[in-house]
Amino acid sequence: MRECSRYELSIVIPTYNEAESIGRLIDSLRGTLERGGIHCFEIIVVDDNSPDKTWKEAENAAMGDPRVRVIRRTWARGLASAVVDGMKSARSDVIVVMDADFQHPPGIVPKLYEKYREGYDLVVASRYMEGGGVQDWSRLRLLISKLSIFASRIAVPSSAKTSDPMSGFFLVDRRKIDLQSLKPMGYKILLEILARNPEVRVSEVPYVFGRRLYGRSKLGLRVMLDFVIHLIKLSRITRFALVGASGIAVNLAFMYLALRLVGVVDVASAVGIEASILWNFTLHELWTFRYRLKGGLREVAKRLAIYHYSSLNSIIIMYATMRSLYTLAGVDPILSQFIGILLGFLANYTMSRGLVWKIAK
């Protein structure tokens, strides 16, 4: 068996209950790479102590080949974190990440490597470019996949550098990304890399996402929920919108309470508005923009004042709408305030569009 002093390529394969696939995949990769003239490669299987003893199968398949290593994790679980652990321990800076279940055809690996050598930092195996595709997917799964891509385009602008930001099959040059900054979560490791390293040079290679040959998929509801949480964490806009939406509830709840306690509509309306401003401000400070009270009390007070000023438009519209609906038409004050909030938002949008950014119809 060949000893290598330098490795040109490390292949990281996360596994959980893939005992039936892993040995076959290791053999198949060895054959494909050798035929492609790549001899000093390394295969790193990162197994989360699978009950079906995938790690043992992998060790057996290695048969003493020093190019195959198995990391048996007992301290952590999860696809993305397994990938990051594998990437950190790789002996080459050029790393391919792929699944164990043959849905990622081994024959694509040399093509990723070839593309990389043309001068890219990240090469994605894509299902959604000319020549790519999926075998055997239900309409629903395809729809979910497309929707996820759409959502990630909004949340992570740099995801537009590839047609398939959800791919779990890619090559990356470890020197060109900040490995330490990756916060692995759920499944979407590629998206995480793109979000934290928007400068990388990206190219892609088409492939057909095959049928799973053995075992079962681990992608369930939990994974999808993780994805949504992941997107929110990565995207400021989404956080901003969520805070705004929660502010509506706060506004109305406080108005209701004040109406109950004080009974004066104007006071209640003002209490609701101010409560939502303070609420939004606090969340934006701590969560949306992650300032976390930066600069001490003085700076925070200054930001709070500016935030009030920037909300002035909406405040006036909210209050004026509420007051006129209530006085002139006798509409319930809480409902009036709610309509005021919506109008405030609409007015803000219309004015921004017409006066500030001037989007033509």
List of residues contacting ligand GDD (CB under 6 A): 14-16, 18, 46-48, 77-79, 82, 99-101, 103, 145, 166, 168, 187, 217-219
Nearer to Mn ion, 59 or 99 (CB): 99
Which of 115, 96, 114, 116 is CA-nearest to residue 106?
A: 96
* Cβ at position 219, least distance to ligand GDD in Å: 3
Where does residue 249 rank: exposed (0-12), middle (13-18), buried (19+ CB within 10 A)? Answer: exposed
Closest distance to ligand GDD from the beta carbon of 323 (Å): 52
Q: Which residues of 204-225 are buried (b: 16+ CB within 10 A; e: fewer)?
A: bbbbebbebeebeeeeeeeeee
Tokens of 307: 């935030």
Comparing CB distances to ligand GDD, the nearer of 79 and 193 is 79
Which of the choices Mn ion, ligand GDD, none does residue 218 contact, using the CB cut-off of 5 to 8 A by kind? Answer: ligand GDD
21 is a contact residue toward Mn ion (CB under 5 A): no
Minimum distance of Mn ion from residue 2's CB (angstroms): 30
Nearest to 207 by CA among 165, 164, 173: 164
> Which range touches Mn ion (CB under 5 A), out of 40-48, 59-67, 99-107, 196-204?
99-107
Of the CA atoms within 13 Å of residue 324, those in its CB half-sphere come to 8
Nearest 10 degrees: CA dihedral of 104, 106, 107, 108?
A: 50
In the bound complex, what is the minimum distance in angstroms from residue 220's beta carbon to Mn ion?
Answer: 12
103 binds Mn ion (CB under 5 A): yes
Q: Using the Cα atoms of residue 333, residue 339, residue 342 and residue 345 in order, give the sign of their dihedral.
A: negative
The residue nearest ligand GDD at its CB is 168
Out of Mn ion, ligand GDD, none, which partner does residue 121 contact, by CB within 5 to 8 A per kind? Answer: none
82 binds, among ligand GDD, Mn ion, none (CB under 5 to 8 A by kind): ligand GDD
Minimum CB–partner distance for residue 258 and Mn ion (Å): 55
Strand partners, 138: none
Structure tokens at 172: 């990356």
Using CA atoms, how far apart are residues 30 and 38, in angstroms rounded to an integer? Answer: 9
* Cβ nearer to Mn ion, comparing 144 with 347: 144
Minimum distance from CB of 214 to ligand GDD (Å)?
11
User: In DSSP terms, which residues pair with 172 in a beta bridge?
Assistant: 95, 122
The nearer residue to ligand GDD, 166 or 315, going by C-beta atoms, is 166
DSSP one-letter string for 36-65: TT--SEEEEEEE---TT-HHHHHHHHHTT-
- Does the protein bind Mn ion through residue 48 (CB under 5 A)? no
Instruction: List residues bridging with 46 in a β-sheet.
Output: 14, 71
Residue 18 within binding range of Mn ion, rule CB under 5 A: no
- From the list 47, 101, 121, 285, which residue makes contact with Mn ion (rule: CB under 5 A)? 101
- Residues 303-342 contacting Mn ion, CB under 5 A: none
- Shortest approach of Mn ion to residue 76 CB, angstroms? 20
Q: How far is the CB of 48 from Mn ion (least distance, A)?
A: 15
| Cβ pair 50, 15 in contact under 8 A | yes
In the complex, the residues that contact Mn ion under the rule CB under 5 A are 99, 101, 103
